[in-house]
Amino acid sequence: MKKLVIFGVGLIGGSVALALKKASGTNPALQIVGVGRSSTSLQAALELGVIDLASSDIATALKDADMVLIATPVAQTSAILQSIKPHLNASTVITDAGSTKGDVLRCADEILGAQFNQFIGGHPIAGAERSGVTAAKADLYLNKNVVLTPTPTTSKQAILTATQLWQACGANVSEMPAAMHDSIFAAVSHLPHLLAFALVDDIASRPNAAELFGFAASGFRDFTRIAGSHPEMWRDITLANKNALLSELTAYQTELATVKTLLENEDGAGLNALFERASVARNAWALGHPTKVEI
C-alpha cells in the first residue's frame, strides 16, 4: 500500500496513522492523507505529524489511493461513501472503523453498487474517553481485537488489505457476520455506555448534584468513565444499533427487576448468590478465562 486516505483524523483514525508511521520500516513509501470537516483539526494533525497531507478536495485525495478508511461517527458514512464513489478506482479498498456494522454494510451496498465488493466493514475494539487528534496514540491498537465483517461478495483483496492494515497497527484480527457483531457489542459495549450516560445524567439533573458529585469516589469514577466519551459518536451508535440495544435493555430491566425484588424482600441469600455469580464471572473474564456461570 502506497496511499491511505483517512476520513476523520481523530482518536481512531489518528491512532491508525501513528501506528502505521511507527511501523514505517515495513512500508516507508506509505503516504497518509487526511480528510475531515474541520480544517483546524486537519492542521493540528499535520503539525503533530499524524498525517502527511490534508485535503479538502475528494478527487485529489483519492487519486491513486490504495485504501480509504472511514473513521468518523457512523451517521457520516453515507455522505462520505457518496462523495468518494465517483473517484474510486477498481482496486481501491474501502473500510470503516464504526461500532455498528449491519447499518454500515446496508448503506455501502446501496451506494457503492457494483463496487460494494471493494468494501469491508471493520471495528477496532479500542478507544478512550478522550477524542480528537490530540488523543491519538501509536499503541492504541496494540494487542487489541479488531473485527472484520466481510460479506459473501467481499473481494479477497479487500479482506487481505484490511487485515494487513490492522495487523500493522498491532491488532488481533478476526471475522464474523455483521448481525453477530451487532448483537455481541450491543450487550458488552453499547449497553454499558448507555447505562453510564444515563446514570451521570440522572445524578447531574438532581438539585443536590454538586453534593453528590462531591462525595463520589472511585466506584462511581470507574463505572461512569465511559460517560466521558464522544457524545455524537455514541448517539449515532445507539440509533444505528437500536433493535439489538432495545433487546439488551429489556434483558437488563428484567435483571434489575430481580434485584429490586430481592431487595424489597430483604432476601440476603438471594442477593449474595447473585453477587457471587457476577463476581466469579467478572473475575474469570478479567483473568482471561471467561465462563458462563450457572444460575
175, 191, 217 - which closes a domain = 175
Better-predicted residue by pLDDT, 225 or 41 = 225
- DSSP reduced 3-state for 265: coil
Residues 170, 212, single domain; the answer is no
- DSSP reduced 3-state for 289: coil
Residues 235, 90, single domain; the answer is no
pLDDT tens digits, one per residue of 206-262: 999 999 999 999 999 999 999 998 898 899 899 999 999 999 999 999 999 999 999
pLDDT tens digits, one per residue of 4-18: 999 999 899 999 999
- Does 138 map to a domain? yes
Q: What is the pLDDT of residue 131?
A: 75
- Does 275 map to a domain? no
Residues 7, 63, single domain; the answer is yes
Residues 190, 163, single domain; the answer is no
Q: How far apart are CA 127 and CA 226, in angstroms?
A: 10
Alpha helices in the chain (DSSP H): 11-22, 39-47, 58-62, 77-84, 102-112, 156-168, 178-185, 191-204, 209-215, 218-224, 231-240, 242-264, 268-286
Residue type, 54: A
Residues 10, 65, single domain; the answer is yes
> Which has the closest alpha carbon to 6: 151, 169, 152?
169
Average per-residue pLDDT in the chain? 93
Residues 188, 153, single domain; the answer is no
Cell of 66: 490504495
CATH value at residue 67: 3.40.50.720
Q: How far apart are CA 35 and CA 17, in angstroms?
A: 13
Residues 67, 137, single domain; the answer is yes
Residues 101, 66, single domain; the answer is yes
175, 201, 221 - which closes a domain = 175
Crossing angle between the packed helical segments 242-264 and 191-204, to the nearest 10 degrees = 60
Q: How far apart are CA 75 and CA 236, in angstroms?
A: 6
Q: How far apart are CA 256 and CA 191, in angstroms?
A: 14
Average pLDDT over residues 159-185: 96
Domain count within the chain: 2
pTM above the 0.75 mark? Answer: yes
Residue % of the chain over a pLDDT of 90: 82
Which residues constitute the domain of residue 122? 3-175
- Does 270 map to a domain? no
Whether 62 has a pLDDT exceeding 90, the answer reads yes
Q: What is the pLDDT of residue 123?
A: 97
Q: What is the pLDDT of residue 6?
A: 97
Confidence grade of residue 294 (pLDDT, cut at 50, 70, 90): low
Average pLDDT over residues 165-170: 96
Q: How far apart are CA 64 and CA 245, in angstroms?
A: 40
Residues 45, 163, single domain; the answer is yes
Confidence grade of residue 291 (pLDDT, cut at 50, 70, 90): low
- Does 279 map to a domain? no
pLDDT tens digits, one per residue of 125-145: 987 667 788 899 999 999 999
Residues 76, 185, single domain; the answer is no
Comparing 20-29, 60-69, 78-87, 148-157, the range with the smallest average pLDDT is 20-29
Residues 24, 159, single domain; the answer is yes
142, 175, 208 - which closes a domain = 175
Cα distances from 206 to residues 91, 93, 119, 145, 200, in angstroms, run: 55, 49, 47, 39, 10
Q: How far apart are CA 30 and CA 71, in angstroms?
A: 18
Residues 165, 186, single domain; the answer is no
Burial tier of 45 (Cβ tally within 10 Å: 0-12, 13-18, 19+): buried
Q: How far apart are CA 220 and CA 279, in angstroms?
A: 18
Average pLDDT over residues 60-88: 94
> Which has the closest alpha carbon to 47: 106, 122, 129, 134?
134
